[in-house]
Structure 1
Amino acid sequence: MAGVRAAVQAMRPYVPGKPVEDVQRELGLTDLVKLNQNENPLGPSPRAVEAVRAALARAHTYPEGSARALRERLGRLWDLPADWFLVGNGSDEVFRLLAEVFLEPGDPIVVPGTSFSAYRFVGELMGAEVVEVPLAGWTMDLPAMAEAAARHGARLLFLCRPNNPTGAVFPEADLRRAMARIPASTLVVLDEAYREFDTTPFDSRSLLLDHPNLVVTRTFSKIYGMAGLRLGYGIMRPEVLAPLYTARDPFSVNGLAVAAGLAALDDVEHLQRTQALTREGRAYLYAAFERLGLPYVASEANFVLFDAGRPAAEVFDRLLRRGVLVRPCGSFGLPTHLRVTVGTPEENARFVAALEAVLRGG
């Protein structure tokens, strides 16, 4: 058998939030509240569900490879040409393609500490030198990341706004100052997976027009409730995007996902309901944490990071046995913190009641 590449041997596989199926099998629990993967508790738009049903009649045919209809729809939303958009199997595919196309073994990339592990993962997969810059408080240290990119000659630099798992954001002015210091040869990837939950968004389009080395990514997994369909996209200059098609699987995005995505973009009411639910749920969780004396991070995403003041793995396990599934953040380097997704009012109340019981030692 052929030997495994050294870069792959040195990697640690990505560990997602614990699946419900595993909990049901291991503990025999059926009544579960799933608040560990930042999913939309309202599910997908009813229009998206209906579009998937209609598209099933064409499931025996290959999808149009570039998702042209969706790219054109996104182009109208962003007021940009369709050839600025790459539709992927989740935004994760866009990250991987950028790494596969633009990184040689040993090339430096800059990633934020305490953030989404996919950035590090795609760099390590290509044998890149990963330069990790710690957060400043709970958000990106943009001056330090710009300095690291210039010092190391980074090929890629990843940013996340709002940041996962902290939910924190940085101002547009700070990003513009950083972009002025980052070499033009460094591709800056701004992951906006949670942007639609953000009450302080900035104009990503103007940044794309001002900075040819900027890539912005979005996903349908979060606010659009389509995590199981795997759909995301990247926006970038055509000269950056074109080479990605060489490495891209021509049918990586299935036709059902594209049909759902087109329908979801038209259902503004569903998006607004999700935003309102999230704002109300965050406020409810903040009040609960304050009542319990637990520090938390004010979030612009659909989750809240809090400090349980004791090993997170222990709290996670005790919550799990009460049928509440959250995310311990030891893998993010936060051994006493947990991240809880904002759920429905009933789910949020059940989480708080279970947390109170756990903290009391019940």
Structure 2
Amino acid sequence: MPIHGLSPTAYPPNPAHFDIEKVIRPNILALHPYRCARDDYKEGILLDANENALGHSISTQASSSDASVYDPMLDMDLHRYPDPSHDSIKTRIAALRDVSGVDHVFLGVGSDEVIDLLMRVCVAPGKEKILITPPTYGMYSVCAQVNDIGVVKCPLELSGQAGEGGTEGRFSLKVEEVKKAINADASIKLIFLCSPGNPTGTKLPLESIRTILDYENFKGIVVVDEAYIDFADEGSSAVSLVKEYDNICVMQTLSKSFGLAAIRLGVAIAKPPLIQVLTNTKAPYNISSPTAHLALSALSPSSLATMQSKIKTLIDSRAALLKSLSGIAHLGLGSSIGSNDANFVMVPVLSKDGSRPDNVRAQKVYKSLAEENGVVVRFRGNEPGCEGCLRITVGSEEENATVIRKLELVLKQF
């Protein structure tokens, strides 16, 4: 059954062992998407969508009892439903990530909507599964449980030190183990790879990803979550593989490097057949007009230049933070255990004698930092291979100095 909205012969499969029509659930292939009013017409006297013709009711006049300040965003047509496609945003994303056009880009309400949609369109509840590589982003398992699908776990390499660029050692992808899991369970439809990883901060080599894409026994889709990719070395992104492979979907977000976590805009980049399926399945107006307005502004040339400047500052600050952390290692703090390709670092709190990572001490340090010192980091000691670890986001220069000062104080207490 062909994908609705695409010519069945427009996109010959690559690699040859992959057939997207066998990956997508039959009920999704048969789906004719909801056709909303703005799919047909966007201009004129719009009396087709049962909107409030008199406009929004948010007051633009500040009163003596209301300290609100006028917001220019209120000049938007907030009483109208948003553009269902947002091609202007997709065009800028396609140019930024060097893909051929808007038909390679999908927009979601954060990456979490993309994760959920991929599971809903590909994986049959109660029958089929996804594969994850712990330690990894927790929403893959949460979405799987919500959708009643199984989870196969194939841990990353958990021992040793992180290799350069994640090529070997700690938190590298155990490709042969992934292949074994595929061979043992034909019901695996999606493989989720986080690169750079959360909480590992370690990017995965493109060759490791390519090996799985080429593996003939896997008939499903490899999903590469690149929320932190802009903090890694240039050339690290798996988007470069989208031009070659139909069985890959790369997720990105405006939450991290763009600094727009509050607007909730996630991105999927893949070949048009998968993008079309996601588009057919999504809610009619999933991206709000305020979100779209801010996203388009963030993707302008001047804003992109500012973003790149801030990325450079954060990368420099990451190096400075690591150096400062090493300066208090004598208090029972281990070296960073990832390869530090993201905007955070992860360090183990050691036992008082420095012999081993210590979850109990790490919990005490974590709680004291947050509850008594006003510094909130993330405890990650219960993740595989992360015993005793605290994940520390790279902050401003002042924030980084404060976390070092407070961490030194707390380590001396416990």
Map 1:13-28 onto structure 2 (within 5 A).
Answer: none
Alignment partners' CA distance in 1, 2:345 and 2:75:
37
1:88·1:253 contact (CA, 8 Å) conserved in 2? yes
Partner AA of 2:342 in structure 1:
A
Match of 1:223 among 239, 257, 260: 257
Match of 2:336 among 292, 296, 300: 296
Map 1:1-362 onto structure 2 (within 5 A).
Answer: 53-54=72-73, 57-77=76-96, 78-104=98-124, 105-136=126-157, 137-153=170-186, 154-181=188-215, 183=217, 185-202=219-236, 204-266=238-300, 267-293=303-329, 294-297=334-337, 298-309=339-350, 310=358, 311=360, 312-320=362-370, 321-333=372-384, 334-361=386-413
Q: Mean Cα displacement is larger for which, 120-129 or 238-247? A: 238-247
Please identify which structure carries the higher helix content.
1
2:226·2:237 contact (CA, 8 Å) conserved in 1? no
Structure 1's 56 and 299: CA in aligned 2 closer, same or farther, altered over 3 A?
farther
2:213·2:247 contact (CA, 8 Å) conserved in 1? no
Alignment partners' CA distance in 2, 1:55 and 1:272:
30
Secondary structure of 1:299's aligned partner: coil
Partner AA of 2:83 in structure 1:
E
Secondary structure of 1:243's aligned partner: helix
Partner AA of 1:125 in structure 2:
V
CA-CA distance at 1:143 after TM superposition: 3.1
Alignment partners' CA distance in 2, 1:142 and 1:256:
42
CA-CA distance at 1:56 after TM superposition: 5.1
Secondary structure of 1:127's aligned partner: coil
Question: Once the two structures are superposed, what CA deviation does each residue of 1:222-258 show, in whole Å capped at 9, x if it has no partner?
Answer: 0111111100110112222222234311122111111
CA-CA distance at 1:218 after TM superposition: 0.6
CA-CA distance at 1:181 after TM superposition: 1.8
Secondary structure of 1:325's aligned partner: coil
Q: Mean Cα displacement is larger for which, 81-90 or 267-276? A: 267-276
Secondary structure of 1:155's aligned partner: strand
- Please report the RMSD computed on the Cα atoms of aligned residues, expressed in angstroms: 1.9
1:71·1:86 contact (CA, 8 Å) conserved in 2? yes
CA-CA distance at 1:272 after TM superposition: 1.8
Larger radius of gyration: 2
Q: Mean Cα displacement is larger for which, 53-62 or 184-193? A: 53-62
CA-CA distance at 1:262 after TM superposition: 1.4
Alignment partners' CA distance in 1, 2:297 and 2:261:
15
Q: Mean Cα displacement is larger for which, 192-201 or 180-189? A: 180-189
Unaligned runs of 5+ in 1: 1-51
Q: How many percent of aligned residue pairs carry the same amino acid?
A: 29
Greater RCO (Cα-Cα under 8 Å, separation 6 or more): 1
The aligned length equals 311
Q: Mean Cα displacement is larger for which, 208-217 or 182-191? A: 182-191
Secondary structure of 1:215's aligned partner: strand
Structure 1's 349 and 186: CA in aligned 2 closer, same or farther, altered over 3 A?
same
Structure 1's 53 and 140: CA in aligned 2 closer, same or farther, altered over 3 A?
farther
Q: Mean Cα displacement is larger for which, 335-344 or 137-146? A: 137-146
1:150·1:182 contact (CA, 8 Å) conserved in 2? no
Structure 1's 62 and 110: CA in aligned 2 closer, same or farther, altered over 3 A?
same
Structure 1's 292 and 215: CA in aligned 2 closer, same or farther, altered over 3 A?
same
Unaligned runs of 5+ in 2: 1-70, 158-169, 351-357
CA-CA distance at 1:184 after TM superposition: 5.1
Partner AA of 1:108 in structure 2:
K
Alignment partners' CA distance in 2, 1:130 and 1:62:
37
CA-CA distance at 1:162 after TM superposition: 0.4
Please give the TM-score of this superposition, normalised by the length of structure 2: 0.71
1:307·1:338 contact (CA, 8 Å) conserved in 2? yes
Question: Once the two structures are superposed, what CA deviation does each residue of 1:74-127 show, in whole Å capped at 9, x if it has no partner?
Answer: 233323121111100011111100001111122021101111011122222222
CA-CA distance at 1:205 after TM superposition: 3.6
Alignment partners' CA distance in 2, 1:349 and 1:141:
37
Partner of 1:41: none
